Structure 1
């Protein structure tokens, strides 16, 4: 069983990641930490609590960073609406926040568990993870791995070269990628083209019925309007849930080894994830200096088994619906 901390900014696709993490028996969801990103942290925290309540689950939720380490705050209200999770009815929270700041929750949880047993899953800006490293560097050697949604090797969605989560706090992402641990980047190249809520998937969720099914369908109905209108994506992209799916069954993804660096100062390229692929004959150095010698220890997600991904989502809705109906 994978022990995870889901660091998120709900967010429509974040809500599907919470669904998978809470419902699948292969995952032990130790807690949810929140960060500003899709909306401000007050709203993303409320949305995390409301999503858990809608699913009938209760896990620790800790409120995190109000903004990026250095840069000015960037939000995605045009994609996720005025609440950060427009579309579904958001029930009032049925339980209280953890009293700790998200950074402290991450540190405490990693340090309390046996080394190499906790995986961090950042699916919003990576601010909380970077601050946890700075406050307690020992977490790097204790964390099993990091599987994060962010970045891309071919495109951007907030600038021509940068994906939103990385752009929103490029300095934080740089800290995380430079740390001496395993990072898998689930990027926009995959999620925006392969992790889609197709009509067939939506019909399967609709057939389950009940309040959770309605909640999920309302998420996809709203995000379809912004994804289709602003981003020209055929169906709603379920970006963040891919990270959880890869922990449920690692064979659902194919990956390639790379050395990933984050551009933090480029006038046109800030937030770009520069991927030096080992398989593609990667250069031995970044910038041609020994100090920047590459280390192909990161992994970049390349392909997703979409039918199995859909099966996981349907199974999660069915499981939580049964649990909620029996309570």
Structure 2
């Protein structure tokens, strides 16, 4: 079976790291490169974290890491911290530092500082070069952070759009937020970028929102099963899951105790088996970019009773559920298969 050609776009914290490990170790995926972006932390930190993961996996020679955009297109933190890019939010919020409420630390401490280097080309230029050399509809893009890089790519070189087979995006939420009541973090950091990518005409834009990732939580017992595989990547994944469980218990309590979503890795699992995503709707979607308390909200028009339902042409797919057991088994299968 031909491998799926994938480009990851990450703001590497803990769940991004699990996604990178899963993609690189998968026998079904060829990772063409990894672009970084301002998101969970500033792009300097997300790039360093990505390099640490790639070096641990021993794939620096075959999987380039390219540094992406340091700032969102427009959005800054309003109110008490004007002018600070939203992706720098946690670094500039003393409450999160003093109370230990942030799920992501500045750096992934279970890795040594990287000794490998990022590629010389910036991510936007690298994307354009790589996509323009590809066949039409041949590349799967898996962005799991803000969509800043891709918005620039599609605006600078619109011909890249036809090279994309699909975008599987961890972002958004249907009537659900995690940074603001109505907004998920990745979209909230750069809502204008998300809207630009939606309007690009890209083939098969698939949203993997909070509704799906929260359904596919992992538990302490799942972490123990993964650790028992006995490899360094499995040990790292188990530790990251355990760290996230602690973070969620302090910061974002979930319905199931001693559990946490590993958002970004669900996108990788969906490449292995699309049926891991459930309750899928083909619908019109837009992002609120109005700057109000709903800024960054994703509006998925899945209600046939709405006034606009029959007028708006569907422009994306959204998965509002996920098969938790299948997700866990896919993740374990990837890690066991790499022994």
Common fold, TM-score beyond 0.5? yes
* TM-score of the superposed pair, with normalisation by structure 2: 0.87
1:210 maps to 2:231 = yes
Q: Does structure 2 retain, via aligned residues, the 8 Å contact 1:60–1:97?
A: yes
Describe the shift of the 1:187–1:259 C-alpha distance in structure 2 as closer, same or farther (beyond 3 A). same
1:271 to 288, 296, 300: 296
Q: Does structure 1 retain, via aligned residues, the 8 Å contact 2:14–2:104?
A: no
Aligned mates of 1:3, 1:82 — CA distance in 2: 30
Describe the shift of the 1:163–1:66 C-alpha distance in structure 2 as closer, same or farther (beyond 3 A). same
Structure 1 residue runs of 5 or longer lacking an equivalent are 323-327
1:95 maps to 2:95 = no
* Per-residue Cα deviation, 1:137-169 (whole angstroms, up to 9, x for no partner): 111122111110100112100110000000000
Describe the shift of the 1:134–1:282 C-alpha distance in structure 2 as closer, same or farther (beyond 3 A). farther
> Partner residue of 2:99?
none
Q: Does structure 1 retain, via aligned residues, the 8 Å contact 2:103–2:251?
A: no
1:262 maps to 2:266 = no
SS of 1:97 mapped into structure 2 = coil
1:67 to 60, 68, 71: 71
Superposition deviation, residue 106 in structure 1: 1.3
Q: Does structure 1 retain, via aligned residues, the 8 Å contact 2:198–2:315?
A: no
* Per-residue Cα deviation, 1:88-114 (whole angstroms, up to 9, x for no partner): 422233532111111111111111111
> Partner residue of 1:50?
52
1:132 to 150, 153, 164: 153
* Per-residue Cα deviation, 1:244-281 (whole angstroms, up to 9, x for no partner): 1111211221211111100001412100001112xx31
Structure 2 residue runs of 5 or longer lacking an equivalent are 77-84, 91-95, 97-101
The alignment yields a C-alpha RMSD, in angstroms, of: 1.8
Q: Does structure 1 retain, via aligned residues, the 8 Å contact 2:170–2:264?
A: yes
> Partner residue of 2:272?
248
> Partner residue of 2:335?
317
Q: Does structure 2 retain, via aligned residues, the 8 Å contact 1:53–1:91?
A: no
Q: Summarize the alignment of residues 282-321 of structure 1 with structure 2, pairs less than 5 Å apart.
A: 283=306, 285=308, 293-320=311-338
Q: Does structure 1 retain, via aligned residues, the 8 Å contact 2:178–2:184?
A: yes
SS of 1:231 mapped into structure 2 = coil
Describe the shift of the 1:50–1:282 C-alpha distance in structure 2 as closer, same or farther (beyond 3 A). farther
Q: Does structure 1 retain, via aligned residues, the 8 Å contact 2:36–2:66?
A: yes
Describe the shift of the 1:123–1:56 C-alpha distance in structure 2 as closer, same or farther (beyond 3 A). same
Superposition deviation, residue 81 in structure 1: 4.2
> How many residues get paired?
311
Aligned mates of 1:301, 1:221 — CA distance in 2: 26
Aligned mates of 2:16, 2:329 — CA distance in 1: 18
Give the stretch that moved more between structures: 102-111 or 74-83: 74-83
> Partner residue of 1:183?
205
